[in-house]
Amino acid sequence: MSTVQSPVWLGAQRATLETSVATPSGRTPSVVAAVFAAQWREIARNRWVLAYAIVLLLLTEALFQMGGSGVRALTSLLNLVLLLVPLVTSVFGVVYWYAAREFTELLLAQPVARRRLWWGLYLGLVVPLVAAFSVGLTLPLVWHRALDAETVRLLALYLGVGAALTASFGAAALWIGVRQDDRLRGLGLMLGLWFSAALAYDGVVVWLATAFSDWPLERPMLFAMLANPVDLARTALVLRLDSAALMGYTGAVMARTLGGGPGLAVSALGLALWIAGPVWLAVRAFRRKDF
């Protein structure tokens, strides 16, 4: 069986070829920006993304009409946002990956590094979804001139949390898409992930807390919250809303243990890790994949 050249030889060849592709100005071509721009044009025109923005917009408008203030409308949207944002990102992300797979192969056949191409694809997926979410939540508050200081602070937190959930579940969708060639299985896995994080997790935690109620559970419950991005998102929002009734079990423990400010910081850090982890996994899988 024939083998490749020695590492030293191969390294020298790589250096020669990579130098030869540099632009006359010496500037590295921005693959990420080019792919992102194309993805943005593609996804921003997608009818499902437009529908996502319109549904959120109509819901915010309806809740504003019923509640009469921006803070009330946003508070009422809490659980919907926590369910809908990960669900839409999961389904759209994984379906889009499979639909764009052949085109991704064509892009991979160009002289671009896989890591850069992945970032272009990822940002091109996540940014339009975040934009749709932001438009849906913000526009009704703008046209009702309900942007008082409290509403703006809460809206900013909602947009930040929505962006974090989209970034986390978007990366997870790309990771599962890369790892799983079977479309149905990939979609099933992603829906299972969403169901576990958004619906089943808190129930399991409450059941465990009840079963082990004689034990000191505050510390394990904090770790339990950190283990789920949807729980972290809920806690970050509810700490701001200061509404114990909406907190969920782990959020209540967090509020009692750490209080508002540190709790928010821990939630933000946890969400950042929940973006970094799936991104790392997805980039690694994308770089190693045989297409």
**Site residues, another protein (CB under 8 A):** 1-5, 9-10, 13-14, 16-18, 20-24, 29, 31, 34-35, 37-38, 41-43, 45-46, 99-103, 105-114, 290-291
- Cα Rg of the chain, angstroms: 22
Q: Which residue, among 136, 106, 121, has the nearest Cα to 37 in the 3D structure?
A: 121
Q: How far is the CB of 113 from another protein (least distance, A)?
A: 5
25 contacts 106 by C-beta, under 8 angstroms: no
Instruction: CB nearer to another protein: give 16 or 213.
Output: 16
Instruction: CB nearer to another protein: give 3 or 213.
Output: 3
User: H helices of 45-148, where?
Assistant: 47-67, 70-76, 78-99, 101-108, 114-143
Instruction: CB nearer to another protein: give 29 or 262.
Output: 29
Q: How many CB atoms lie within 10 A of CB 15?
A: 10
Residue 149, classed as helix, strand or coil, is: helix
Q: How far is the CB of 283 from another protein (least distance, A)?
A: 15
Sequence-distant (6+) residues with CB within 8 A of 193 are: 90, 169, 172, 176
Instruction: CB nearer to another protein: give 96 or 194.
Output: 96
52 contacts 133 by C-beta, under 8 angstroms: yes
Instruction: CB nearer to another protein: give 23 or 210.
Output: 23
Please give the helix or strand (H or E) that residue 286 lies within, else none: helix 260-288
